Amino acid sequence: MASIVFDLDGTLIDSAPDLQKIANELLQADGHAPISLIETCSFIGNGASVFVEKMCAARGVPKSSEAHYIEAFLNAYQSAFGLTVLYPGVLTALERLKAQGHKLGICTNKPIGPCRAVLEHLKLTNYFDTIIGGDSLPVKKPDPAPLFAAFDALEGGVSIYVGDSEVDAETAARAKAPFLLFTEGYRKTSVDQIPHTAAFSDFGELENLVARF
């Protein structure tokens, strides 16, 4: 049995279209040019506030307006899941891992409110024994504290982290945990530049990777 903790955005779910939609509604309301989906993906990873800061910087929004944009973004974020989808094979992989007795958790920099809302919308909540959001603790990833909190809550077997990004890789390294890299998410560099124990592009591979431990 293992304790398997997952990142959320870019790992289990593709939420970039919803984040792009929120961002562009805010930007265009003030006469700024919209951001592309590629830009959106590049801003994801360090939490909502950092996303908004990068969005504002990319479109020349004055620093004095950032607090307003962050507040408006977070308000819209609570129900932003209409365009969000699971990556192929995620549901089957979670069902199989759960059936084998593994304990599953979430450790994400997404705020806990939107995190729980999207998990409920996608009917995923019951698969996870613990959920740690970006505001559940005073610190966020890549600080390892949120990942340690998730592992501690699961209390079982070898601890494994599954994520898609450089932030996730650093978090796992600082927690000294095996890291399984999902290559089809929001990473910003090549796979060989991201430290990982193993990499996979298809969730059908995950069960066998976990079995190695």
DSSP labels for 70-116?
A: HHHHHHHHTT--TT-EEPTTHHHHHHHHHHTT-EEEEE-SS-HHHHH
Amino acid at the residue 153:
A
Residues forming beta bridges with residue 180, ordered by sequence position:
162, 198
CA atoms within a 13 Å half-sphere pointing along the CA-CB vector of 96: 14
Coarse DSSP helix, strand, coil percentages of the chain, rounded to the nearest 5 percent = 50, 15, 40
Identify the active-site residue in 7, 14, 129, 164: 7
Give Cβ neighbours of residue 148 (< 8 Å, ≥ 6 apart).
Answer: 175
Annotated active-site residue 7? The verdict is: yes
| Main-chain phi, psi angles of 106, to 5 degrees | -120, 135
> Which H helix or E strand runs over 160?
strand 158-163
| Enzyme catalytic residues | 7
